[in-house]
Structures are given as C-alpha cells and as structure tokens.
Amino acid sequence: MTSYDAQTALDAIHHRQAQTRDAYARHASTSYGLIAALAVFATGSSVDLTGTWGLIARLAGGALIATGLTVQYRRTRVHRKRSAAGTLFAVAVAAVALTAFIAASMLAWAIRLPVPSVPAAAVAALVTLVATYTARPIVEKIISRRDGQSDGPGLR
C-alpha cells in the first residue's frame, strides 16, 4: 500500500464519519418533533381536567411519549453510545418546555382564564416544536466534540 492509497482510504473514512454524524444530527434534531409537541400538549392540558377525562388525557400523553421515543429509536439509521453532554442537552430541552409551561400557567392563572393549563400546554408544545427544529447545530457540536475526543467513531 502506498502513502497515496493510505491517505485516500483515510479520507474515505473521514467522509463516511461526517456523513454518519450528519445523518445522526438530522434524525436527532428534526424527527418526530410534532409527536413530542402533541405529547407535551396532551400531558400539559390534562392538569386541570378532573376525573375520567384527566386520566384519559394523561394516558394519551404518556402513550404519545412512549410511542414517539420507541419509534424514534427504532427508525434511526445510526445508533450511538449515550454521552453525558447529549443527555444533559435532552434534559435541558425538557426543562425549557416545563419552564415555559409553568410560566404560561402562572400567566393564564393571573389573567383568570377558566382552564389555564390548556393555553399553557399550547405554549409549551410550541416551545417544544421550536426547540426540536432549532437544536440541530447544538446536536452537531455535541457529536463532533465527542467524536474528536474518542479513539473511534463512537458508533455501535
């Protein structure tokens, strides 16, 4: 093998790794955002509901969350080992949605809306949807930073 062949092979490996990182970032940041937003809305809007309707709405939200996570994991073409930065980012996005829900609930309660959790859930769902679609650059940074620190591509 000549040095040219070795460099060509190494360039091909780097190109495939970049394609893999791009595919992972695209899937992780844009897939199933609508399902996540609907799950947030169903779960958040059920706070003020009482009795059977509240239970049905909470179960629907839980089922949407479980289904969305399962489908997203199953349909991904690239599986990666979990990283602390990726997990912290996911928790931060959930915290932002929860904070938006709490703030919108307090505002809706302050202006005396009859069912404050429904508009608050709508605001939290919109925040979730926007966060899902705007998170790609952050996900790409997390992936590239992790791959730069590891010995291999980090794929399984």
- pLDDT-derived band at 119, boundaries 50, 70, 90: very high
What rounded mean pLDDT belongs to the chain? 77
128 in Cβ contact with 97 (< 8 Å)? yes
**Side-chain half-sphere of 92: how many Cα atoms within 13 Å?**
10
Asked if pLDDT for residue 29 goes beyond 50, the answer is: yes
Contact indicator for 84, 69 with CB cutoff of 8 Å: no
Q: What integer pLDDT is reported at residue 25 of this predicted model?
A: 65
Identify the pLDDT of residue 87.
75
CA–CA separation, 90 and 29 (whole Å): 11
Structure tokens at 38: 């609907």
Q: What is the pLDDT of residue 149?
A: 46
Q: Tell me what pLDDT residue 26 has.
A: 66
User: What is the Cα–Cα distance from 19 to 17, expressed in whole angstroms?
Assistant: 5
The 10s digit of each residue's pLDDT in 37-95 is: 888 888 888 888 778 887 888 788 778 777 777 776 676 666 666 667 777 877 887 88
Give the span between the Cα atoms of 61 and 38, in whole angstroms: 8
